[in-house]
Amino acid sequence: MIFGSMAIYFLRDVLGNAGYMTQISYAKLVPGILCCLFGIVPIANAKLGKRKVLVLGSLFQVVGYALMIVPNLAFVLIGNAVYGIGGAFFGVLLGTATADVAD
C-alpha cells in the first residue's frame, strides 16, 4: 500500500503523473467497501471460521503488496484492489477476534 509522501514520490517520479493518487486511493477503498456491502466477509466467516478468514485476508494483502512491486499503473491499481479486499476481512473481523480473546 502506498500513501502520503511515498505515494507522491512513486507516482510523480516512477509512474510519471502524481494525478493518479485519486485512482489508487479508490482502487483500495471501493473493493473493500463492496466486500462489506455484499456480505462476503460474513459468508466466508460462516463457512471457514474466523481464524481462516483472517489468514485469507492476510494472504490477500500479501498478494496485493507483491503486485504493487511492478512499477506499472495497472499492477499498482490491481494490487491496491486486492489489498483493499484483504483489509475488509481484517476491518470486519479483527474487533470480534479481540473480543474472543478477552472471553
1 assigned to some structural domain: no
Residue 23 to residue 41: CA distance in whole angstroms: 24
Rounded to an integer, what distance in angstroms lies between the CA atom of residue 56 and that of residue 6?
A: 27
- List Cα–Cα distances, 61 to 28, 67, 103, in angstroms: 11, 10, 28
Tell me what pLDDT residue 2 has.
Answer: 63
Give 8-67 pLDDT, tens digit per residue: 888 888 888 888 888 888 998 999 999 988 989 889 999 999 989 999 999 999 999 999
**Which residues constitute the domain of residue 38?**
22-102
26 belongs to a structural domain: yes
Q: Does 5 map to a domain?
A: no
Q: Quick one: pLDDT at residue 19?
A: 85
Number of domains in the chain: 1
Please indicate, yes or no, if residue 15 is contained in any of the structural domains.
no
Residue 14 lies in a domain: no
Give pTM, 2 decimals.
Answer: 0.84
